[in-house]
Amino acid sequence: MNKVKINKYLRELIPFHGNHFLTGNGYFGVRGTLEEYTKEHMPCINMAGIYDRVGDKWRESVNAPNPLYTYIVSGGKKYSLPDVECESHMQELDIYRGIHMRKTTWRTEQGIVTVTCERFASMANQHAIGMKYSVCTNYDGEVEIVTGIDGDVWDINGPHFTKLLISENDKILSVTGITGEMGISVTAQEKVCTDFDAEISTEKNNKSVFRRIRIKTQKDKIYTIKKTAVISSSVDDNPVIEDIKSADYDKMKNDSINAWEKIWEISKVEIDGDDEAEFALNYSIYHLNCIAPRNLKSKSIAARGLSGQVYKGAVFWDTEMFMIDYYMHTEPEVAKTLLKYRIDTINGARAKADEYGLQGAYYAWESQEGGIEGCSEYNTVDVFTKRPMRTYFRDKQYHVSAAIVYAFMKYINATGDYGILAEGGAETIIECARMYRSLLLKKADGNLYEVHDVVGPDEYHERVNNNAYTNRMIKFCFEKAVEYTEYIKNKYSSYYDKLNEKYDLDKLIPLFKTSAEEILIKQPDENGIIEQFDGYFGLEDASVPEVRARLIDPKEYWGGAYGVAADTQVIKQADVVAMLSMFKDDYSKDIMQKNLEYYEPRTEHGSSLSACMYSLLSCYTGDADAAYPLFMKSASADMAPGGKEWIGLIYIGGTHPASEGGAWIAAVKGFAGLDIIEGKPICRPCLPSHWQGMRFNIIVQGKLYCVNISKDKVDIKIQ
């Protein structure tokens, strides 16, 4: 299997299909919408790392003017979905070549018109998009193709372009939008080649420009236009290399296919005995490949990838905890770029720490360019009162900084690139540790440091004390600050001297050491269960279905001050289970098993980040069959409609890269049992009983390995 495909048009699935059929190249994402869609149907070319704010609405990422905008007219009537019902419709995405394709037929007064279109976001040239659009009638008659650039783009909190510059020059159409907040320009240009004679005229309005291509059709003859388009902005890392004037569709397509082939040579995972799982996993990998900030400087990945403006196009802990593992083993330069983003945005994190009266670096919960905090204090809307609802994600999810430190550790183990410490990594880690030190509390008669008033990964319980996950991550952060500072002292002494001068490391490091030793780490109780936070066991032990049944409105928020889950033991997502899978060597299988059994039935899995952690931990207990459905849930997050699309009244639909990255982790670290020991990969597989084997490539410390696992053998070869 190499395609996702539908054979029927369903209007109600327009938002889902926009995600399901997404194409992209890391610089932008093109939603899998149809060419004729205007903004009500959420088409978009979502730009990586460009943001804008309108009035006092949320800042969000910016969508480019849409150069794919195209529809047909027959007998003076516009034929477009969803407004005019079609006779047949097919849409598909070839995940191995990155090509989106649709074929639709309409019955017009003159007869049947068939439209076929293939398009791609070039993987070879990150500014380019190609589109081949064909029309065929089963009668001799007339059809118009209307094609151009739609500057009236879909926005959640827009419009972001306060000025639009529209031009036509030497048959090249161009729309430049200029953002209101910072005056950033985003330009779409396009050119069309036809293989037939036609009468062509150009039309403009104040937002868009398009051509009308009038064709006298002969029965069953196919009329094709080939469009090459270029997207650029005034804040690009790389110049546009494709000259739009000389751009050739077929060459552009071949180059892109070749670039995809190279990516798949390393990233494909093969599974013997389970085609469905193999495809779901590679579909997840496809999405990770579409959003990787390849050849970009210090960019990261938003929680909804490049599928739109949901979650403000912002970067969450998702990248460091769930996605970076895939990149560090398939394209380590991409993983480095993700970490560079955190290094380069440290001033934003310093400003946030300062805002909350803390030292060091407190990274944004929803990070935008420069580390600007995109998260609002009122992050959802009450469905009953329609009033903004106070949530404490922004203020209290302290664990985000430690996730970044954890990612540095994973990256260094996987790549051996300790050099990143001297490129700002060590300072980032020290700054995170300084932030955590300023959170530590000791009771008058207490021996241990406690951390109060936090939100852990389980967002349904806000402002809790001693969240097991958060405290353990803080300890880890102190330990790494000590270890890596020691390392740079020996290896990069002049960099160390600079940092020592700035932070007085000779005094600070011993403080980190005692902080690591003296922080309260929750231990398993007499039943082997680790309490998620102080007082959690005292909450009502209601089941997930019971709590769900208490909802008055299906869009109601479960957490916050008075959400249905807030006073119960029902949790949103992996919390203690996440901690156990991240620190697997600290716990016995028995403890892992007991906690899985305790927390799984109490977990709503209301976040797509949850299932993969349960899957991974189940593998660590040796129970691959229990892990399997959770792995499939994670790998299939964008395969079928029905995912969670609302928090309160806020739309949260889009692709789920953390779930996709989590599926890769569950497959490679869980089922294949990959670990890096002394710089080399080893595998202790734990395959689901119906799998016969797995094959994949991984890069470890600069070497490419081919891993071949069968029921009774593991073969790891350097390539």
- C-alpha distances (whole Å) from 585 to each of 35, 353, 475, 483, 621 are 51, 32, 15, 18, 12
| Chain centre distance of CA 221 | 42
Strand ranges inside 350-424, DSSP E: 380-381, 388-389
Output 609 or 650, the one with its CB closest to ligand IFM: 609
Min dist CB 609 to ligand IFM, Å, is 5
Catalytic residue at 459? yes
Min dist CB 585 to ligand IFM, Å, is 24
Task: Point out the catalytic residue in the list 459, 462, 479, 660.
Answer: 459
Q: Does 599 bind ligand IFM (CB under 6 A)?
A: no
Q: Does 658 bind ligand IFM (CB under 6 A)?
A: yes
**Distance between CA atoms of 624 and 611, rounded to whole angstroms?**
14
Output 332 or 662, the one with its CB closest to ligand IFM: 662
**CB contact at 8 A, 711 and 687:** yes
Output 290 or 303, the one with its CB closest to ligand IFM: 303
Only segment of 135-143, 177-185, 218-226, 310-318 that touches ligand IFM (CB under 6 A): 310-318
Output 652 or 704, the one with its CB closest to ligand IFM: 652
Give the sign of the dihedral formed by CA 345, CA 348, CA 351, CA 353. Answer: negative
Output 174 or 379, the one with its CB closest to ligand IFM: 379
| Residue span 419-458 as binding mask against ligand IFM, x where in contact by CB under 6 A, dash where not | --------------------------------------x-
Q: Report DSSP letters for 198-265, one per residue.
A: -EEEEEE-SS-EEEEEEEEE-TT-EEEEEEEEEEEETT-SS---S-TTT--HHHHHHHHHHHHHHHHH
Of the candidates 523, 527, 408, 538, which has an alpha carbon nearest to the alpha carbon of residue 472? 523
Min dist CB 316 to ligand IFM, Å, is 4
449 contacts: CB under 8 Å, gap ≥ 6: 440, 441, 442, 515, 518, 519, 520
**CB contact at 8 A, 606 and 573:** yes
Q: Which of residues 358, 582, 609, 663 is near ligand IFM by CB under 6 A?
A: 609
User: Alpha helix (H) ranges present in 78-180?
Assistant: none
Only segment of 186-194, 272-280, 315-323, 423-431 that touches ligand IFM (CB under 6 A): 315-323
Both tokens of 527, joined, read 């039943």
**Distance between CA atoms of 167 and 173, rounded to whole angstroms?**
6
Q: Does 619 bind ligand IFM (CB under 6 A)?
A: no
Only segment of 66-74, 314-322, 418-426, 631-639 that touches ligand IFM (CB under 6 A): 314-322
Q: Which of residues 274, 318, 325, 575 is near ligand IFM by CB under 6 A?
A: 318
Q: Does 317 bind ligand IFM (CB under 6 A)?
A: yes
Q: Does 303 bind ligand IFM (CB under 6 A)?
A: yes
Q: Give strand pairing partners of 28.
A: 47
Q: Which of residues 9, 37, 311, 326 is near ligand IFM by CB under 6 A?
A: 311
Min dist CB 349 to ligand IFM, Å, is 17
3-state secondary structure of 390: coil
Work out the angle at residue 6's Cα, subtended by the Cα atoms of residues 4 and 8, and round it to the nearest 5 degrees.
Answer: 175
Min dist CB 462 to ligand IFM, Å, is 13
Q: Give long-range contacts, CB 8 A cutoff, 24+ apart: 387-394.
A: 389/557, 389/560, 389/648, 390/560, 390/561, 391/459, 391/462, 391/559, 391/560, 392/455, 392/462, 392/463, 393/365, 393/366, 393/455, 393/459, 394/365, 394/366
**Distance between CA atoms of 324 and 331, rounded to whole angstroms?**
10
Min dist CB 658 to ligand IFM, Å, is 5
Of the candidates 532, 614, 597, 616, which has an alpha carbon nearest to the alpha carbon of residue 571? 532
Only segment of 146-154, 240-248, 316-324, 494-502 that touches ligand IFM (CB under 6 A): 316-324
Q: Which of residues 569, 607, 618, 636 is near ligand IFM by CB under 6 A?
A: 607
Both tokens of 511, joined, read 């403080």
Q: Does 464 bind ligand IFM (CB under 6 A)?
A: no
| Residue span 362-401 as binding mask against ligand IFM, x where in contact by CB under 6 A, dash where not | ----------------------------------------
Q: What are phi and psi of 700, to 5 degrees?
A: -130, 125
Of the candidates 140, 137, 138, 93, which has an alpha carbon nearest to the alpha carbon of residue 119? 93
Min dist CB 661 to ligand IFM, Å, is 11
Q: Does 306 bind ligand IFM (CB under 6 A)?
A: no
User: Alpha helix (H) ranges present in 583-656?
Assistant: 589-599, 611-620, 624-635
Output 278 or 318, the one with its CB closest to ligand IFM: 318
Q: Which of residues 316, 476, 631, 696 is near ligand IFM by CB under 6 A?
A: 316
Output 303 or 405, the one with its CB closest to ligand IFM: 303
Only segment of 311-319, 338-346, 413-421, 693-701 that touches ligand IFM (CB under 6 A): 311-319
Min dist CB 199 to ligand IFM, Å, is 50
Of the candidates 608, 655, 649, which has an alpha carbon nearest to the alpha carbon of residue 17? 655
Binding positions for ligand IFM, 23-42, rule CB under 6 A: none
Strand pairing category for 161-169 and 222-233: unpaired
Min dist CB 607 to ligand IFM, Å, is 4
83 contacts: CB under 8 Å, gap ≥ 6: none
* Rounded-to-10 torsion of CA 155, 159, 163, 167: 30
Min dist CB 126 to ligand IFM, Å, is 25
Output 108 or 634, the one with its CB closest to ligand IFM: 634
What is the total count of residues that contact ligand IFM (CB under 6 A)? 10
Output 609 or 674, the one with its CB closest to ligand IFM: 609
Of the candidates 76, 89, 119, 96, which has an alpha carbon nearest to the alpha carbon of residue 10? 89
Only segment of 183-191, 228-236, 313-321, 508-516 that touches ligand IFM (CB under 6 A): 313-321
**Distance between CA atoms of 437 and 429, rounded to whole angstroms?**
12
Output 324 or 420, the one with its CB closest to ligand IFM: 324
Min dist CB 259 to ligand IFM, Å, is 28
Of the candidates 7, 247, 241, which has an alpha carbon nearest to the alpha carbon of residue 130? 247
Output 151 or 606, the one with its CB closest to ligand IFM: 606
**Catalytic residues, which ones?**
459
Q: Which positions lie near ligand IFM, rule CB under 6 A?
A: 303, 311, 316-318, 457, 459, 607, 609, 658
